[in-house]
Structure 1
Amino acid sequence: MTDHDEAAAVRPLTLTWASRHLAAGERIVGAEALHGGVTAEMRRLTIRTPDGGHRDLVLRSFVDPFHLARAEDALHREAGALALLKGTDVPAPCLVAVDPTAARCEYPSLLMTRLAGRTAVEDEGLATRVPLLARQLVAIHAVRPANRPRTYEALTTADTVVVPKGADAAAWAMAIDMIREPAPPYQGRFLHRDFQPGNVLFDVPPATPADTRITGVVDWAGASWGPADLDVAHCSTNLALLHGPAWGPRFAEAYEEAGGTLAASASERLYWRVRDVLAFSEEVRLVARPWREAGRADLTNQAVERRLDTYLTTLLDTPG
């Protein structure tokens, strides 16, 4: 087997496990590290087929000790979500195999099909992509599972928020006080829980960028049940940090224009958006690194923190 770089090397037990889930006559002939993942190692595996052709699979392995404790739950969630989405209009990978407890692999792992397309984090073409993202999220929220996934978790608390250096202290104090209050009531929906540009694949024709389309939605490890506002707030924050604070509210508008339904009152919608901003405060460095690896060298930790602060104050200053 040929590795494109040392980081791509698949560990022996995992390689054997993955090979057992191939079709007769197939074998793994290459591996390539995929960049952009935050919680797990991602690799593209090249499979040679008996007729001499090739196909690709994607291997996710939880290796980092910090994330290892939640690996079993995350892989059960992802496997369940991929099985649920099979046959729906949501373009998700197909599950090939999963070993959530590392019974046969060195680390908890999941093997799935690879989807065509690429992530798009550049500013160019954003006005075309935002409505596509909104329509795709509406379609995800329209899925009605026979068995609901576990209720969402909101891990950020008033005590875990990290106020950026130089931020508007009064605004952050107001926001922190907001999440001390109980969450608003909501109508549950099937959630992706990390729906954002880094987890959506696009086909962007160079000659006709207006014909851009979504080819896949990946990373379903957080799939859960909860308010649509959570997913909308999360994508809004990502867009605000990637492309500027004005794009956060614009995505929420696009979601409603696409037929999505958000919380009835402005105060309820604000609660979920503020909660997501505060959650980002704890992991600015984690989320900014993959963006820089994808070509956004301008998104330094400091630049992202400034945008986070500006976005928060924009939300709090927006009437009704």
Structure 2
Amino acid sequence: MTDRHEGAAVRPLTLAWVSRHLEVGERVVRTEALHGGITAEMRRLTIGTRDGGTRDLVLRTFVDVEHAEDWLTREAGALTLLTGTDIPAPGLVAVDPTAAHCAYPSLLMTHLAGRTVLDDEGLEARVPLLARQLVAIHAVRPAEQPRGYVAWSTADSIVTPKGADAAAWAAATDVIRRPAPPYEGRFLHRDFHPGNVLFDVPPPGPAGPRITGVVDWAVTSWGPADLDVAHCSTNLALLHGPAWGLRFAEAYEAAGGILAAAASERLYWQVRDGLACSEEVQLVAQPWREAGRTELTTRAVEERLDAYVTALMDTLG
């Protein structure tokens, strides 16, 4: 077995577990570290098949992560739920959420074609695709309702960036001190953003980009569609500029999605997600830089977050 990148090696106990879930006569012949995740180690495993060919699987491992059992259990449930639907999610092969057999809690799944695309170029064509995909996710009706969403911040945990518009941030923080607005529950991905969507982007020509996969289903939840839209909006604002964050809600509605009717209710969800990001700007920006967006320093992302929060308050406040 060969490792293509430093850190790609699979721990022996985990490798033995993976091997038990392969077809007779198959073996792992190559491993490759996948970059872009924040909390999990991701590896592509090339499997040698009996006929001399290969196929790929993906191994997701949480090392010393507090919520690993919960996240892997939820992800396994989501992948099982989505099997046979139009949602392009990976197929579940095996899961060991408590590390009963692996070195650390792990999940084995099928590998999807495509790649994440974080460049500004071509964004105009990708945003409607993201919106349509999210509408389709929200249309899933699980037989068993997932657990309710968990807010990722409180008004007291917000970290106002240096040099930010203090008045706008104070007003935004006051917004999320209010009780959450009433909502109609939907099946949420809960971490839907460009970094968790795979695209096939052909060379310039009549065929445009298409989505080939949606990954990272570890925090699937039940809650308002506005919350998923807000999370993608925040990521678009930080990756591509505040205007794109504001445009995503419009794209979602144009794709047939339904959001809160009142501007004040939309503001609550949009601001809640934007402010939550203030606590982990460095963690959010690092994988983007590793993917080639080297200009997105922590400071640059903080400045975009400030501009986005201010724009939300000006537009919906």
TM-score by length of 2: 0.99
Which secondary structure does the structure 1 equivalent of 2:222 belong to? strand
After the TM superposition, which residues 305-320 of structure 1 pair with which residues of structure 2 at under 5 Å, given as runs? 305-319=302-316
Greater mean deviation of Cα atoms: 206-215 or 48-57: 206-215
Amino acid at match of 1:130: V
**2:242 partner SS:** coil
Aligned length: 317
SS in 2 for 1:297: coil
Distance in 1 (CA, whole Å) between partners of 2:205 and 2:170 is 47
Contact map agreement 2:193 2:231 (CA 8 A) in 1: yes
- Stretch moving more, 164-173 or 268-277: 164-173
Deviation per residue, 1:118-164 (Å, 9 max, x gap): 00000000000000000000000000000011111003011111111
The CA deviation at 1:181 is 1.1
Hey, what does 2:219 align to over in structure 1? 222
Q: Is the 8 A contact 2:267 2:316 kept in 1?
A: no
Contact 2:31 2:44 in 1 (8 A): yes
Aligned to 1:18: 18
Identify the residue that residue 31 of structure 2 maps to in structure 1: 31
Counterpart residue type for residue 137 of structure 1: L
Instruction: Give the unaligned 5+ runs of structure 1.
Output: none
Query: Match for residue 299 of structure 1?
Result: 296
In 2: Cα distance, 1:165 partner to 1:270 partner = 23
Partner of 1:57: 57
How far, CA to CA, are the matches of 1:90 and 1:17 in structure 2?
28
Equivalent position of 1:176 in the other structure: 173
Change in CA separation of 1:207 and 1:228 when aligned onto 2, cut-off 3 Å: same
Aligned equivalent of 1:241 = 238
Q: Structure 1 residues 209, 12: CA separation in 2 closer, same or farther (over 3 Å shift)?
A: farther
Q: Distance in 2 between matches of 1:290 and 1:206?
A: 25
CA distance in 2, matches of 1:98, 1:182: 37
Question: Once superposed, what is the RMSD of the aligned Cα atoms?
Answer: 0.9
For normalisation by structure 1, the TM-score amounts to 0.98
**Could you say which residue in structure 2 is the equivalent of 1:206?**
203
1:38 partner amino acid? I
1:279 counterpart (250, 253, 276): 276
Q: How far does residue 209 in structure 1 lie from its aligned partner after superposition?
A: 7.0
Q: Which amino acid aligns with 1:39?
A: T
Conserved 8 A contact 1:125-1:209: no
Map of 2:193 onto structure 1: 196
Aligned partner of 2:201: which letter? Answer: V
Q: CA deviation at 1:232?
A: 0.2
Residue 166, structure 1, aligned to residue 163, structure 2: yes
Instruction: Give 4+ residue runs of structure 1 displaced > 2 Å after superposition.
Output: 207-210
Q: Report SS of the residue matched to 1:127.
A: helix
In 2, the alpha carbon distance for the partners of 1:223 and 1:149 equals 7
Asked if structure 2 preserves the Cα contact closer than 8 Å seen for 1:32 and 1:44, the reply is yes
Match of 1:41 in 2: 41
Quote the residue 1:290 is aligned against.
287
Q: Tell me, which stretches of 5 or more residues in structure 2 are unaligned?
A: none
User: Aligned partners of 1:58 and 1:160: how far apart in 2?
Assistant: 35
Give 1:280 shift. 0.4
Asked if the contact 2:264–2:316 (Cα under 8 Å) also holds between the matched residues in 1, the reply is no
